A and B are shown apart, each in its own frame.
Chain A
Amino acid sequence: MSEERPRDDYLRDGPNLTGAELDAVLDETWRDGPGLMGWIRSVDHKSIGKRYLVTAIVFLGLGGILAALMRIQLSGPGHHFLGPDRYNQIFTMHGTTMMFLFAVPVMDAMAIYLVPLMIGTRNTAFPRLNAFSYWMYLAGGTLLWVAFVLNVGPDAGWFSYVPLAGPEYSPGKRVDIWAQMVTFTEVAALAVAVSLTATILKKRAPGMTLARMPIFVWAILIVSLMVILSMPSVALASSMLLADRLVGTQFYNSYELGDPLLWQHLFWFFGHPEVYIIFLPAAGFVSEIVQAYTGRQTFGYTTIVLALCATGLLAFGLWVHHMFATGLPRLGYAFYTAASMAVSIPAGIQIFCWIATIWTGRPRFMVPMLWVVGFIVTFVIGGLTGVMLASVPIDLQVHDTYFVVAHFHYVLIGGAVFPLLGAITYWFPKFTGRMMSEGLGKVSFWLSFLSFQGTFFPMHIVGIEGMPRRVYTYPAGMGWDTLNLISSISAFVFAGSVILFVANMLLSMRGGEQAPDNPWGAPGLEWKAASPPRPYNHAHIPIVLDNTPLWNAEQPVAYGLRVEDRELVLTTVLDARPDLREPSPEPTAWPLIAALATTVMFISSIFTPWAVAIGSVPIGVALIAWFWPKGPPHPDPVIE
Chain B
Amino acid sequence: MTEQPRFTTDLAPLRTYAFGHRSLTWWGIVAFFLIEGTAFALAVAAYFYLMNQEKYWPPQPIAPPGLLAGTLFTILLLLSEIPNTMAKKAAEAKDLPALRKLLIVSSAIGLVLMGLRAWELDSLNVLWSENAYGSAVWLLLVLHTTHIGTDWVDTLVLAALMHTEHGDTGRRYVDCAENAMYWRFVWLLWLPIYVMLYWLPRLVT
Write the nearest CB–CB distance from B162 to chain A, whole angstroms: 12
Q: Which residues of A contact B59 (CB under 8 A)?
A: 257
Q: Which of B153-195 contact A (CB under 8 A)?
A: 153, 157, 161, 165-166, 168-173
Q: Is the CB of A269 within 8 A of B135?
A: no
B18 contacts the other chain (CB 8 A):
yes
Q: Which residues of A contact B82 (CB under 8 A)?
A: none
- A620 to B50 alpha-carbon distance, docked (Å): 34
A58 contacts the other chain (CB 8 A):
no
Q: Is the CB of B42 within 8 A of A236?
A: yes
Q: Which residues of A contact B157 (CB under 8 A)?
A: 624, 627-628
Q: Which residues of A contact B7 (CB under 8 A)?
A: 14-15, 540, 556-559
- A251 to B129 alpha-carbon distance, docked (Å): 9
Interface string of B104-127 (1 = CB under 8 A from A): 000000000000000000000000
Q: Is the CB of A583 within 8 A of B132?
A: no
Write the nearest CB–CB distance from A434 to chain B, whole angstroms: 21
Q: Which of B21-59 contact A (CB under 8 A)?
A: 21-24, 27-28, 31-32, 34-36, 38-39, 42-43, 46, 49-50, 53-54, 59
Write the chain B residue with the least CB distance to A225: B34
A36 contacts the other chain (CB 8 A):
no
Binds A, one of B9-17, B64-72, B73-81: B9-17
Q: Which of A326-359 contact B (CB under 8 A)?
A: none
- A562 to B165 alpha-carbon distance, docked (Å): 24
Q: A232-B39, A539-B1 are in contact. Are A126 and B28 (CB under 8 A)?
A: yes
Partner of A559, one of B9, B28, B168, B171: B9
Write the nearest CB–CB distance from A198 to chain B, whole angstroms: 4
Interface string of A42-80 (1 = CB under 8 A from B): 000000000000000000000000000000000000000
Q: Which of A1-54 contact B (CB under 8 A)?
A: 1-2, 4, 6, 12, 14-15, 18-19
Write the chain A residue with the least CB distance to B167: A633
Chain A interface residue count, CB cutoff 8 Å, equals: 76
Write the nearest CB–CB distance from B100 to chain A, whole angstroms: 16
Q: Is the CB of A269 within 8 A of B42?
A: yes
A125 contacts the other chain (CB 8 A):
yes
Q: Which of A526-571 contact B (CB under 8 A)?
A: 539-541, 543, 554-561, 569-570
B89 contacts the other chain (CB 8 A):
no
- A266 to B59 alpha-carbon distance, docked (Å): 23
Q: Is the CB of B136 within 8 A of A558?
A: no
- A18 to B53 alpha-carbon distance, docked (Å): 70
Write the chain A residue with the least CB distance to B7: A559
Write the chain B residue with the least CB distance to A560: B12
Q: Which residues of B contact A620 (CB under 8 A)?
A: 153
A117 contacts the other chain (CB 8 A):
no
Q: Which residues of B contact A229 (CB under 8 A)?
A: 34, 38
Write the nearest CB–CB distance from A231 to chain B, whole angstroms: 8
Q: Which residues of A contact B49 (CB under 8 A)?
A: 259, 262, 265
Q: Which residues of B contact A272 (CB under 8 A)?
A: none
Which of B6, B10, B14 has the most chain A CB within a 10 Å cutoff? Answer: B14
Q: Which residues of B contact A570 (CB under 8 A)?
A: 22, 24
Q: Which residues of B contact A636 (CB under 8 A)?
A: 16
Write the nearest CB–CB distance from B51 to chain A, whole angstroms: 9
Binds B, one of A241-249, A277-285, A413-421: A241-249
- A539 to B94 alpha-carbon distance, docked (Å): 35
Q: Is the CB of B35 within 8 A of A190?
A: yes
Q: Is the CB of A198 within 8 A of B27?
A: yes
A143 contacts the other chain (CB 8 A):
no
Partner of A543, one of B8, B43, B132: B8
B138 contacts the other chain (CB 8 A):
yes
Write the nearest CB–CB distance from B173 to chain A, whole angstroms: 7
- A543 to B172 alpha-carbon distance, docked (Å): 31
A322 contacts the other chain (CB 8 A):
no
Which of A12, A190, A193, A257 has the most chain B CB within a 10 Å cutoff? Answer: A257
Which of A15, A229, A244, A555 has the most chain B CB within a 10 Å cutoff? Answer: A229
Q: Is the CB of A2 within 8 A of B169?
A: yes
A637 contacts the other chain (CB 8 A):
yes
Q: Is the CB of B135 within 8 A of A193?
A: no
A309 contacts the other chain (CB 8 A):
no
A202 contacts the other chain (CB 8 A):
yes
- A125 to B24 alpha-carbon distance, docked (Å): 8
Q: Which residues of A contact B27 (CB under 8 A)?
A: 125, 197-198, 201-202
B205 contacts the other chain (CB 8 A):
no
Write the chain B residue with the least CB distance to A634: B169
A194 contacts the other chain (CB 8 A):
yes
Q: A198-B27, A257-B131, A265-B49 are in contact. Are A4 and B6 (CB under 8 A)?
A: no
Q: Is the CB of B132 within 8 A of A258?
A: yes
Q: Which residues of B contact A506 (CB under 8 A)?
A: none
Q: Which residues of B contact A253 (CB under 8 A)?
A: 132
- A355 to B166 alpha-carbon distance, docked (Å): 57
Q: A194-B31, A233-B38 are in contact. Are A580 and B135 (CB under 8 A)?
A: no
- A202 to B30 alpha-carbon distance, docked (Å): 13
B128 contacts the other chain (CB 8 A):
yes
Q: Which of A593-608 contact B (CB under 8 A)?
A: none
Write the chain B residue with the least CB distance to A261: B49
Write the nearest CB–CB distance from A204 to chain B, whole angstroms: 13
Q: A202-B24, A620-B153 are in contact. Are A581 and B132 (CB under 8 A)?
A: no
A235 contacts the other chain (CB 8 A):
yes
Q: Is the CB of B39 within 8 A of A250?
A: no
Partner of A262, one of B28, B46, B172: B46
Q: A194-B31, A236-B42, A580-B17 are in contact. Are A251 and B132 (CB under 8 A)?
A: yes
Q: Is the CB of B24 within 8 A of A573?
A: no
B86 contacts the other chain (CB 8 A):
no
Q: Is the CB of A557 within 8 A of B128?
A: no
- A573 to B24 alpha-carbon distance, docked (Å): 11
Q: Is the CB of A251 within 8 A of B136?
A: yes
Q: Is the CB of A633 within 8 A of B166?
A: yes
Q: Which residues of A contact B9 (CB under 8 A)?
A: 206, 543, 556-560, 578
Q: Is the CB of A198 within 8 A of B24?
A: yes
Write the nearest CB–CB distance from A209 to chain B, whole angstroms: 15
Q: Which residues of A contact B8 (CB under 8 A)?
A: 543, 556-558
Write the nearest CB–CB distance from A516 to chain B, whole angstroms: 13
B97 contacts the other chain (CB 8 A):
no
- A421 to B177 alpha-carbon distance, docked (Å): 45
Q: Is the CB of A4 within 8 A of B4?
A: no
Q: Is the CB of A2 within 8 A of B165?
A: no
Q: Is the CB of B16 within 8 A of A258?
A: no
Write the nearest CB–CB distance from A462 to chain B, whole angstroms: 37
Q: Is the CB of B35 within 8 A of A560?
A: no
Q: Is the CB of A579 within 8 A of B39?
A: no
Q: A190-B35, A557-B7 are in contact. Are A4 and B22 (CB under 8 A)?
A: no
Q: Which residues of B contact A539 (CB under 8 A)?
A: 1
Chain B contact residues, CB within 8 Å of chain A: 1, 4-18, 21-24, 27-28, 31-32, 34-36, 38-39, 42-43, 46, 49-50, 53-54, 59, 94, 128-136, 138-139, 153, 157, 161, 165-166, 168-173
Given contacts A231-B35, A251-B132, 4 further A-B contacts (CB under 8 A): A2-B170, A262-B46, A581-B11, A624-B153
Subset of 7 A-B contacts with CB under 8 Å: A202-B27, A236-B42, A247-B129, A251-B139, A266-B42, A560-B13, A637-B17
